[in-house]
Amino acid sequence: MMDRSGNVVGVAAPLEWDDVDTDQIVPAEFLKVVEKKGMGRYLFYRRRYGQDGAERADFVLNQPAYRSAAILVAGANFGIGSSRENAVWALLDGGIRCVIATSFGDIFENNAARNALLCVRLDEPTVARLRSLARKGAAFYIDVPAQTVTAGSEVTAFQMDPHAKKRFLEGRDEVSTTLETCGPAISGYEARMPAWAHPSSVSPVE
């Protein structure tokens, strides 16, 4: 859960494999859903459920200790692959507020920042240690203003993109901000846009 100051407190679930692509987070067949809400039911669908639709006991988020996890401690290359923002929506709707990993897919990380899903990047030995603390059921507390992860008695500082931090703590309507602060710059470019950058106007072939 997230407390009022925007910090994340809760159970952390260890993910024991690297290269968690966004197809694993939300399979493509669920991309046809056109609402964000309820996307959590598709989170890690193929890992979470067997072919008969029953929960798989070997999947970490199905285990009693981790059902209410707010944090995932993954490994390398979390969120690689498809640009689907559904991956971020499903994590959030599934109760995950923060993912700790050694690296993230670029588009995933952008999408996460825009939806206040916290991505914490740490080096491999640290992430391995945090994973092992998560296995032992240590309580995790992520202080976003101070940029620290507290797991059990261990406190680790992390770097954070200043914009992602602001988005996480304040949340803002970026479109309005852009239009208010950069409207003239946008129109200015449009006035000097070279002729060749315009598509020549022709109707599509029917």
User: How would you label 102-121 residue by residue, b for 16+ Cβ within 10 Å and e otherwise?
Assistant: bbbbebbbbbbbebbbbbbb
Secondary structure (3-state) at 26? coil
Q: Is residue 172 a contact point for other proteins (CB under 8 A)?
A: no
In this structure, what are the phi and psi dihedrals at residue 21, rounded to the nearest 5 degrees? Answer: -80, 165
To the nearest whole angstrom, how small is the minimum distance from the Cβ of residue 63 to other proteins? 18
Residues 77-96 contacting other proteins, CB under 8 A: 77, 80-85, 88
What percentage of the chain's residues is helix, strand, coil (to nearest 5)?
Answer: 40, 20, 40
Q: Is residue 19 a contact point for other proteins (CB under 8 A)?
A: yes
Secondary structure (3-state) at 65? helix
To the nearest whole angstrom, how small is the minimum distance from the Cβ of residue 35 to other proteins? 8
Q: Give 78 or 140: the residue with its C-beta nearer to other proteins.
A: 78
Residues 176-195 contacting other proteins, CB under 8 A: 178-179, 181-182, 185-186, 188-190, 193-195
In Å, how far are 1, 26, 80, 183, 187 from 77, measured between CA atoms?
A: 24, 16, 6, 36, 38
Q: At what angle do helices 86-93 and 106-114 cross, to 10 degrees?
A: 50
Residue of the chain from 42, 75, 130, 144 that contacts other proteins (CB under 8 A)? 75
Residue of the chain from 2, 9, 31, 138 that contacts other proteins (CB under 8 A)? 31
Residues 112-171 contacting other proteins, CB under 8 A: 114-115, 161-163, 166
Tokens at residue 189, please? 């470019």
Please choose, from the candidates 64, 63, 30, the residue with its C-alpha nearest in 3D space to the C-alpha of residue 48.
63
Q: Give 19 or 93: the residue with its C-beta nearer to other proteins.
A: 19
Q: Which residues bind other proteins (CB under 8 A)?
A: 16-19, 21, 23-24, 27-29, 31-36, 46, 51, 75-77, 80-85, 88, 103-107, 110-111, 114-115, 161-163, 166, 174-175, 178-179, 181-182, 185-186, 188-190, 193-202, 204-206
